[in-house]
């Protein structure tokens, strides 16, 4: 029986601040303090990787590199790498409740370039040199990829006009390294900034008995340094392009399924290499997180692959994955790991058996529980101790949005009956109370539901582009009432972090 604990789900991008997007600066430290005061154990975030077209943290240019949008400018000012005057007239976006990614893309880069130049002007830095050594397995490849990608107008390697660069011909790569040396160096140094700031924040959280739950997408993007540099690990055609792409089949929510576009792994090639790529990926992930939630976990048992070029996911097929063999090897190499299996979507008995064999906790989503005529396995009375209970995830509407826009009248009445909602109790409070009172060892509250926000605060609507991943919390929203609610739920349902003083 695992100890009862709890935490809050809010991505770094959603933190308040003056530079257009949440960062690793003071507001992040303030949020850790909030978690401490409310006796939480976990801060869950979305993937920290670089984002591309569509701004999704689940489509990254690298499985290892960090999103430089999260580098905090105030910390760079404190290091003498930037000055307050550098920010005069810079527009990071006018809406404190939403991220303007276009403005960030264009307006942060010159500032970071100046910080990099000032950093290099300071001369030899042993900490930076050690970072280069520790990150050698991925950093140079990523920096070279990004430099060449920018050289060709931000195009994916699949569309580069230089075939020699596409296939990493050594002479061509040597020329690009020389000709694009400033850009390559920029990406190395900004990754150093990212990891230095993030690991300092994580250390502060850990010192205060707060653990970070990170999120690992199962797939990488086609437009990524991994696909470019290690095509042998993916299903490709003769030209090296993805021959099959990832998605999920049609269901009650999407008539055409979801077409994600990620390349499909060649699991036979990975097995022949003793899954070394996955072992390295998990090793690096546990340097930056304490717990790792693996997205689309069922894809390891079997996955839906769609022919490249398809317009939707209808014409795909189920293919067996590595199943337990992968995690058996991982355990032999790395020992027991704190992993959460995102086991949502189309589930079969084989997937349940696979998850049970790993011993990893699965997920329960309360918004999925209230079918008045069904018997949803997400109902709390079906939960096991070895599970994580949420009101919803980043892919769900907020509780208020779900209640007002998705649930019909019969579903709403059933939810109120099941949760024993009081007349003076808000819908989010009743749902959160049900989550925290469940038998699941870990209860996670989304920040939007703690704040009682509607659909305008939804993080992502699957299969859509535009206006996703933009929600931000304002500095005044995290008030005493919110803090009291979370503390009450945590203490009442015996999830208080016992390492903290009362």
Question: Mean pLDDT for the chain?
Answer: 96
pTM value? Answer: 0.96
SS3 content of the chain, % helix, strand, coil (to 5): 45, 10, 45
Label residue 66 left, alpha or beta by phi (over 0 means left) and psi (-120 to 50 means alpha).
beta
pLDDT tens, position by position, 342-396: 998 888 999 999 999 999 999 999 999 999 998 999 999 999 999 999 999 999 9
Q: DSSP code of 418?
A: H
pLDDT tens, position by position, 3-44: 999 999 999 999 999 999 999 999 999 999 999 999 999 999
Phi and psi angles of residue 368, each rounded to the nearest 5 degrees, phi first: -85, -5
pLDDT tens, position by position, 98-132: 999 999 999 999 999 999 999 999 999 999 999 99
Yes or no: say if 486 and 444 are a contact pair by the CB < 8 Å rule: no
Give me the percent of the chain exceeding a pLDDT of 90: 92
Catalytic residues: 295, 342, 395
Specify the pLDDT at position 500. Answer: 44
In the predicted model, is pLDDT for residue 502 greater than 70?
A: no
Q: DSSP code of 21?
A: S
Model confidence at 499, pLDDT cuts 50, 70, 90, reads very low
Label residue 198 left, alpha or beta by phi (over 0 means left) and psi (-120 to 50 means alpha).
alpha
In the predicted model, is pLDDT for residue 215 greater than 50?
A: yes
Label residue 100 left, alpha or beta by phi (over 0 means left) and psi (-120 to 50 means alpha).
beta
């Amino acid at each position: 029986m695992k100890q009862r604990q709890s935490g809050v789900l809010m991505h770094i991008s959603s933190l308040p601040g003056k530079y257009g997007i949440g960062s690793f600066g003071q507001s992040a430290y303030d949020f850790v303090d909030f978690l401490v005061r409310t006796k939480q154990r976990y801060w869950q975030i979305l993937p920290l990787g670089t984002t591309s077209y569509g701004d999704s943290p689940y489509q990254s240019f690298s499985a290892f590199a960090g999103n430089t949008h999260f580098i905090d400018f105030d910390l760079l000012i404190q290091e003498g790498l930037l000055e307050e005057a550098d920010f005069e007239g810079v527009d990071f976006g006018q809406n404190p409740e939403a991220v303007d990614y276009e403005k960030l893309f264009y307006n942060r880069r010159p500032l970071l370039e100046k910080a990099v130049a000032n950093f290099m002007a300071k001369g030899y830095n042993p900490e930076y040199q050690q970072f280069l050594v520790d990150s050698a397995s991925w950093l140079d490849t990523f920096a070279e990829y990004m430099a060449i990608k920018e050289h060709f107008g931000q195009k994916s390697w699949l569309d580069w006009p230089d075939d020699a660069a596409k296939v990493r011909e050594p002479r061509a790569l040597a020329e690009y390294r020389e000709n694009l040396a400033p850009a390559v160096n920029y990406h190395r140094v900004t990754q150093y900034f990212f990891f230095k700031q993030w690991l300092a924040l994580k250390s502060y959280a850990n010192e205060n008995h707060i653990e970070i739950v990170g999120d690992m997408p199962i797939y990488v993007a086609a437009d990524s340094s991994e696909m470019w540099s290690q095509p042998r690990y993916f299903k490709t055609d003769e030209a090296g392009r993805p021959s099959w792409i990832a998605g999920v089949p049609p269901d009650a929510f999407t008539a055409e399924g979801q077409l994600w576009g990620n390349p499909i792994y060649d699991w036979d090639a990975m097995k022949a290499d003793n899954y070394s790529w996955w072992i390295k990926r998990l090793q690096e992930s546990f340097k930056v997180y304490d717990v790792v939630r693996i997205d689309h976990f069922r894809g390891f048992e079997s996955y839906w692959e769609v022919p490249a070029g398809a317009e939707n996911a209808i014409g795909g097929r189920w293919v067996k994955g590595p199943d337990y063999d992968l995690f058996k090897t991982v355990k032999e190499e790395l020992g027991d790991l704190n992993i959460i299996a995102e086991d949502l979507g189309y589930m079969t008995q084989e997937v349940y058996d696979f998850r049970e064999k790993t011993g990893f906790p699965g997920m329960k989503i309360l918004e999925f529980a209230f079918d008045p005529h069904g018997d949803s396995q997400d109902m709390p009375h079906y939960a096991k101790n070895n599970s994580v209970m949420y009101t919803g995830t980043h892919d769900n509407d907020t509780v208020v949005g779900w209640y007002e826009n998705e649930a019909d009248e019969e579903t709403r009445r059933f939810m109120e009956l099941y949760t024993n909602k009081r007349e003076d109790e808000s819908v989010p409070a009743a749902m959160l109370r049900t989550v925290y009172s469940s038998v699941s060892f870990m209860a996670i509250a989304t920040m939007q539901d703690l704040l009682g926000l509607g659909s305008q605060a939804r993080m992502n609507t699957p299969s859509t582009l535009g206006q996703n991943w933009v929600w931000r919390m304002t500095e005044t929203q995290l008030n005493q009432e919110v803090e009291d609610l979370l503390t009450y739920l945590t203490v009442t349902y015996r999830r208080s972090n016992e390492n903290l003083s009362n």
